Amino acid sequence: MFANLGVKVYIVEALQHILPFIDKDLALAIKQYLLKKNVTIYENIFVNKIEINKGGIKAILSNNERIEVDKVLIAIGRMPKTSGIGLKNVFVETDQHGFIKVNERYQTSNPRIYSAGDVIGQPLLAHKALLESIAVAKNIAGEEIFKLNYTLIPLTIFSGLEIASIGYTEKELKNKNIKYRRIRLPIYFLSSVKIKNGRYSFIKILLDEESSRVYGIHIVAPNASEIISAYLPLYMGKIELEEIARTPYPHLTVSESLREIAEYILGEPIHIFLKK
């Protein structure tokens, strides 16, 4: 991050909180982390105008504040570059946003042409594109196809104090009127998290209200992008909480959090006092 190099950084977010596509509690943890790095954050604020002159750049905000900076990075999303490349000439259709339309076999509207990766739409992630490409190759070769389960694709945010998620957010569950239980465990007590200065770290698991079905797993922690893979079997229903609680995850790693939250959900935490 630029802030780690001593550069003064400003973030201007037009919506109610930074990272608006994730739950607010995750975004708040990252906000607190960034504020400690001396990053100035504006939320629910627009950039009305950019003025460029010899002395630098001036951003005029919707709250009438003016910020003088050397560089401006505009990060408001990505759009596919599919116009003007001849898709119409080969009868390949795109949707209203410019993403190429495909079926379950990743065939386009022209059955002789396949497409995969960012160009076919969300999520725009490399690990998703890789598996789609393998599926396309198998389809073309006439091998047995596999269907990619998009709910298993982890979202990772490399923000120093990292975020990693699988499955539904609380916002999505509420929009679908799905009843759920929210289990949230701070993990700053873990030695590995302390060593890596993960002060605002926590794990959040969203469970079915009446069963052990997992709807979503959300991690805010150092190395969250790495340990999210250890949580995949839990999300997939391939391992029970009781088995996780008996698994010797290595000490001085953030992966210990998996055993900790399993013990917590089972009502038998070792390092957390549970009021009864």
Which residues belong to the active site? 251
Task: Give the E-state strand segments of 127-213 in sequence order.
Answer: 155-157, 162-167, 180-186, 202-208
| C-alpha span between 132 and 147 (Å, rounded) | 9
Residues paired with 114 in a beta bridge:
107
3-state secondary structure at position 218: strand
Provide the angle, in degrees to the nearest 10, between the axes of the packed helices 256-265 and 224-236: 40
> Which of 206, 193, 248, 254 has the alpha carbon at shortest distance from 229?
254
| C-alpha span between 45 and 66 (Å, rounded) | 12
Residues paired with 208 in a beta bridge:
180
